[in-house]
Structure 1
Amino acid sequence: MSYGVGPVAGAQCGYPYGGGSSLGFILVLFILLVIIIRSVWL
């Protein structure tokens, strides 16, 4: 599961997971969390 420019940066650095992919993963988790919270409260 990789999103945005993270996978490209990680591949260029020679690592499967770079700082960019980690940031993208956290961002996706945050968006999913917001959607879940909104669906629960609504």
Structure 2
Amino acid sequence: MAMYGCGGYGGGYGGSSTFVLIVVLFILLIIVGASFY
């Protein structure tokens, strides 16, 4: 979560921002899946 303040989204779309996007999507999938159970 500390990557948000370190220019993860604002500092250009490099490899780190893509990794953060995948992690956020994965967390959203877990939350949506847990809500159905």
TM-score by length of 1: 0.62
Higher RCO, 1 or 2 (CA under 8 Å, sep at least 6)?
1
Give the direction of change, closer, same or farther, for the CA distance of 1:6–1:20 in structure 2 (3 Å limit): farther
Count how many residue pairs are aligned between Structure 1 and Structure 2.
Answer: 33
TM-score by length of 2: 0.69
More helix by share: 1
Structure 1: give runs of 5+ residues left out of the alignment.
none
Q: Percent identity?
A: 42
Structure 2: give runs of 5+ residues left out of the alignment.
none
* Displacement over 6 Å in runs of 4+: none
CA RMSD of aligned residues (A): 2.4
